Structure 1
Amino acid sequence: MSNLKVLVFGQVNNNLNELIAKANSIHNSKNGPFSLLLILGNIITSEDHVDALDLPGYFTSRSFDQLPQVFKEKVSQEDNFGEVSPNLTYLGSTGRFNVAEGLSIAFHGGSQDDGDIIPGPVDILLSHDFPTAITDHSQSAPLLADDVSMSKLVSQAVVDTTPRYHFAPCKGTFWERKPFEWPESDPANRVTRFIALDSYAGAKKWFYAFNILAQQSEFPALPPANLTANPFINNSQKDERAEDTKSTDNSAVLTAIDRPKRPLDTQQPGKKKRKTKTRTVNPDSCFFCLSNPKVDRQLIVSIADESYLALPKGPLTLLHDDIPTHILFIPLPHVPTFSSLPDESKDKVALEKRKYMAAMGQLYGPKDLVPVSFEINRSDGVHAHTQIVFIRKDTINDLKQAFLREAEMNGLKMTEQSNVPAEGDYFVVSLDTAQEYLVIEIAPGSYFDLQFGRKVLASHLEILDRLDWRACAQSPKEEESFGNKFKQAFKPLDFTL
């Protein structure tokens, strides 16, 4: 399997060479290099010369007729495929394509005349329209403009290809839908993520970067924690082709499983907004609560009065001098954020955290390792915890800029603060022992990638194969071995003994 780094840009409107320059700049920066670039939607340009890309780039069009004239001179209507400028390839309107590294891409122009995509799983699906059912089972769906095209043909393409990533352009909107699973897929545990990007250089997020294993034949048994119901289940039947296959009238959109008509805006005139249903995790079923009879006790390495240390499942980093280097600090009370700790516990938890950090500093410091700690505090979270990763001191240089760049690339505002926010939802990272924090404030109810901190570290440390913790899951025997190694090394410094 090849681990590829993919860059996706929103639709371009008359500034193609500017887009190419931007792509080249990102590709050649510390964020790169990237394996390929995907450009969404129709390329609109009146330029008579197209500059060269420094990385392979691919795009599609609704039809050959909608190609810019400068491209029509490079490919024939009969072929409807080919390189139109150095490193930039036109894929066509509807079909499948495999890049050299084995990554499979399907694409759909939205027209019935182009036929169907050959069924079979793909890594990435590109479409010009939204599938009609995509907003179902989603509590974070944006309010879509009336001119957003919804296509039953694209819905069918999703069912036929069960893509791991599905991208579509949407002017003025960025939306990363929570993932959904295909329970009867082959291979099993296949998950789809749908992302809509604003037009290139738009006000909302217009580019997306991610890592993907091409030709992946097995997927982690544990699905993402934020899965929603699959909006396409029970839609294995082909839609009647005699019906209209596209609609720009949101009030007349049929879902892919032929539910009754309804508008996409879930807050209809005269009706109260639907209440969000939050899944409650009680202490007896929380993986971080010691009262849970199913807690993985082989991962617990030290217990204080109000908190404890544990090793994570699927650690980002492994052993250094035979000692685990990825640790979790967890308060004993079952609360979603550190700020919501009971008053009688707050000061004790903070003191124990300082003691643990000082003790681990004595353990790892002589080995030229320094801590990077990060946490997500959300009022709708499950159980507060801090992830602590000890990395080589010579690799911490430029890590601050790596976090700032990654935040900017994801359309997030990260600021330097002297203190952790006292309230609200936020992501925070602390580098080494510096008395400053990098903070991203998270709007209530908005999406935030729970793996953001891990992704930045994995990229910076060049261990992209360990980006997904599920792909790094250990057996109980391995977990027990790692736990014993840490306890043995930490015992002389453990203030709880």
Structure 2
Amino acid sequence: MEGLPLRVLACGDVEGRLESLFGRVRAIQSKSGRFDMLLCVGDFFSSTSDAEWAEYRSGAKKAPIPTFVLGANNQETMHCFPHVTGCELAENITYLGRRGLFSGTSGLQIAYLSGTESQEEPTPAYSFSSKDVTELKSSLLSTPNFKGVDILLTSPWPRDVESFANSPGEIDTKKCGSTLISDLAASLKPRYHFAALEKAYYERLPYRNHTVLQETPQHVTRFIALAEVGNKSKKKYLYAFSIVPMSLMDPAELVKQPQDVTENPYRKLQKGAQKTKVLGCAEEETACQFFFDLNKHHGKKRPSDGKDRGSSQTKQAKKPPQPTGPCWFCLASPEVEKHLVVSIGTHCYLALAKGGLLPDHVLILPIGHYQSVVDLSSEVMEEVTKYKSALKEFFRSKGKRYVLFERNYKSQHLQLQVIPVPLDYTSEDIKECFITQAQEQQMELLEIPEHSDITQVVQPGTPYFYVELDTGEKLFHRIRGSFPLQFGRWVRRFLYPSISRSPPFSPTLFYSNEPQHPSFLHRWCSQARRTSMWSWTQARSSSTVSGAASHCSLAGGCVAFCTLPFPVLLPFPPLFFTPPFFSPFP
């Protein structure tokens, strides 16, 4: 059974303004009831606060609530902390010490680290070094069944805390943050982490402390930075919350993931630390960090996109890998059935499926040779996202929505299969169709948490089956043995029970005049003219012809006139086009 929650206040830089702080605390308690403790991070004293502090030190005044503070961050206030290991500074005001773990009778575990990061040797008394962080981590991580701490108190912010999350505004954490604090937070896994010193309030979205689909779910961390007491901008400097000690919580309740949870912001720093360790200890084999550290011992490297990922800015983007044999989907290949192409972007193209499940079954494909989504560079992935947005808009205009799936198993070239479904199908309906079919095949389809993507749960070279709804909801199955190649097609009988034929829909090519298969190209281009869904394709080189019009004479007498708001399409087989190929469109 869970214990009663503790009511806690956290405060930013006090800077000697004790009357302002405690006056505010009294007002809060008179309105909301008594709190159990006040935790102060940042600068508790200032160099000019001796007179006000003297009244509390002498006992003339008393803090209204048990108050716990961190140590000095500069030489000027060192004299206010007489004992390095911690002590009572005044009645109800306690200095925790340089580093350690505070745990009262309630069972609440509060880890703390005083001071600011320093590279100097010897380390100043108001600073901490990598040795301090290592010793604090070792003392806690060696505890049997260690799962994390309830609260972490530091004065500096952790470096890169804003990664994957909301921006802290004017604060640049790459300049002000501490990498040692980031490392400490990643290791101790606090449920709450408080910091200050930057005269700003920032509450980050909660982040997870486990690798999705690879590790047992763990509790999330909430990072909150607080401003200074009595600041003129009225930025938040007090944070009130209730917390049940981790040791008293129901495990299932503890690991519940909120809707807005993000990835861990410190993964890249951990990767860098591991690489440094490898360089220093070549004889030791490094463990594969599932998210980022995909070294040569653990499958193929994700192709570089030419952007800074710890390498030189002058490094050129790698070309996509070349196919080992004929590829039916590389756009430059003679094997491509170009008459099915609907549009071409900079890195991707859209085509009708030759053996589609439905007349509007389309494929999003990279122009270059990539095997799966997890192999894509950032530029290609960005254009895939734009195609998905355009398809969502297109299908919504037709009273439909879509579901997308990918099978990275016994395939050379990435094919994102996009299937339209009726708009009244809910996301739960669609997911249930796939999950039911998976259960029939004795497979497990797992839902990928919100704010995660496929590149964060599987490494390149790993076989998988992947489903994505137009809402962004995702399902994933890691293929470990055999896998039915037609699995995605089989789901059609759940989505469209009225279609009783077991083989897939056998379309004629999209230029057919058959009534059951109207020209997708004509409707696509008509939609493009009415909306701005293709505006992102406008930015192309001057060597291309923008705003061209295609007068397409389709086989069977179906003719589509359409202005293409994207540059020249690939040369199509001349059989299907009446010259001139490009002509002005009024």
For this structure pair, what is the TM-score category when the shorter chain's length is used for normalisation?
0.3 to 0.5
Bigger share in strand: 1
